[in-house]
Amino acid sequence: MMDRIKSSIIYKITIIILSISQISCQTIHENNKKAEKEAEIMATQKSLVVSFLNKGLPAMAMKELRKLINQHPEDPDFKNLMGLAQLSLQNPISAAKSFKESYALEPRTSVALNLSSAHIEAKKYKQAVSVLRAIKKSKDYKVYQYPERISHNLALAFERMGKIRAAEKHYRVALGENPNYYLSLMRLGKIYELSKRRNQAVGIYKKAKSACPVCFDPINSLVMSEVALGRHSSAMNLLRTYAGNKEVSDSNRNRARKMMGIVQRIAQSRTPNKQQRVRADLPNTRLER
């Protein structure tokens, strides 16, 4: 009799334990589903903000972000996106504040890089250099996917400080990390051009043109170099080829066409008229009558 009672008690205890276990598993499952749903909603919200930034609508992005940051004050992505929106609106001081808050929540190389950009735009070049050098010394730098961006920002900070040799050195480092990095190609080309190394500048601009066939800036720089050398036909051919590229945007195509008119006017102004050519052909001696 006692054995039956004991057996019944053990059975009931087991049932109770199993029931509690089932309820617990059900609760965990429901919590997981809720967390997954919240994560999906946040991912959608972040995608919306990114789309605003990509479309050149930083004010719209910031409007959304203010609400989202109030709802999720500990989310580092929203803080980082707020920094990018502020930077697009030319508010580098506010951008730096948001990037610092994001980095404090989750230290990431990409956020530190954004912070250096904010410092550069705020003309706080020494602070930018300090941030970038710290990145290069960190463990994450070795695994960061875009090291050329760090070297480029370091070069840009030095260039803005007037330290051209250091800037050139780091632009070269950036191009060693990624030979087709368009931004460093254009800046290095400009340094060569300003230091009267025209042939080197042309070579770099040609690489920039290959790296970004639809970009107007390398075409503009190449055309100006050709015009400076008196090669107007070559300049016109560059512009015609560029304008004929179907991938080029309408705005850039119009810029190329306007440039053609400028080159034609320069060429005409440099071409002597018939009377001037006749005089130039006369011997530079006194004529006997």
pLDDT score of 49: 79
Is there a single domain that holds both residue 207 and residue 219?
Answer: no
Rounded Cα gap, residues 134 and 116, in angstroms: 11
Please indicate, yes or no, if residue 8 is contained in any of the structural domains.
Answer: no
The answer to whether 58 touches 83, Cβ cutoff 8 Å, is no
Residues 207 and 150 in one domain: yes
Full-model pTM: 0.78
- Tokens of residue 164, six digits: 């051209």
Q: Determine the pLDDT at residue 105.
A: 95
Taking the C-alpha atoms of residue 148 and residue 47, their distance in angstroms, rounded to an integer, is 26
Position 50 scores a pLDDT of 87
Q: Name residues of the chain where pLDDT drops below 70.
A: 1-35, 272-289
Full residue range of the structural domain in which residue 111 is found:
58-125
What CATH number is attached to the domain comprising 193?
A: 1.25.40.10
Q: Which of 103, 177, 167, 120 is nearest to 147 (CA)?
A: 177
What pLDDT is stored for residue 2 in this prediction?
Answer: 54
Q: What is the pLDDT of residue 230?
A: 87
The tokens describing 161, both together, are: 């400080």
- Of 107, 161, 105, give the one whose Cα is nearest residue 129: 161
Q: What is the DSSP letter of 213?
A: T
Q: Which of 190, 212, 234 is the last residue of a domain?
A: 212
Within-domain flag for 26: no
101 and 156 assigned to the same domain: no
Predicted pLDDT of residue 287? 39
**CA 13 → CA 17, 19, 20, distances in Å?**
6, 10, 11
Is 20 among the domain residues? no
Q: What is the 3-state secondary structure (H, E, C) of the chain?
A: CHHHHHHHHHHHHHHHHHHHHHHHHHHHHHHHHHHHHHHHHHHHHHHHHHHHHHCCCHHHHHHHHHHHHHHCCCCHHHHHHHHHHHHHCCCHHHHHHHHHHHHHHCCCHHHHHHHHHHHHHCCCHHHHHHHHHHHHHCHHHHHCCCHHHHHHHHHHHHHHCCCHHHHHHHHHHHHHHCCCCHHHHHHHHHHHHHCCCHHHHHHHHHHHHHHCCCCHHHHHHHHHHHHHCCCHHHHHHHHHHHHCCCCCCHHHHHHHHHHHHHHHHHHHHHCCCHHHHHHHHCCCCCCCC
Task: Examine the domain organization and report whether 185 and 155 are in the same domain.
Answer: yes
Neighbouring C-alpha atoms within 13 Å toward the C-beta of 7: 4
The pLDDT value recorded for residue 278 is 45
Residues 67, 118 within the same domain = yes
Residue 191 near residue 171, CB atoms below 8 Å: yes
In a domain, 93, yes or no: yes
Six token digits for residue 152: 């480029």
Is 237 a member of any domain?
yes
Are 207 and 220 within one domain? no
> Same domain, yes or no, for 265 and 223?
yes
The reply to whether 289 falls in a domain is: no
- One domain for residues 193 and 228: no
Q: What are phi and psi of 72, to 5 degrees?
A: -130, 70
In a domain, 67, yes or no: yes
The amino acid at residue 286 is R
Q: How many domains does the chain have?
A: 3
Measured at the alpha carbon of residue 99, what is the angle toward residues 95 and 104, in degrees to the nearest 5?
Answer: 150
Whether 138 is covered by a domain: the verdict is no
Task: Give the end of a domain, one of 212, 228, 254.
Answer: 212
Q: In terms of Cα–Cα distance, which of 185, 251, 187 is closest to 214?
A: 251
Question: Which of 162, 178, 212 represents a domain boundary (last residue)?
Answer: 212
Tokens of 143: 């695994």
Model pLDDT, residue 40: 82
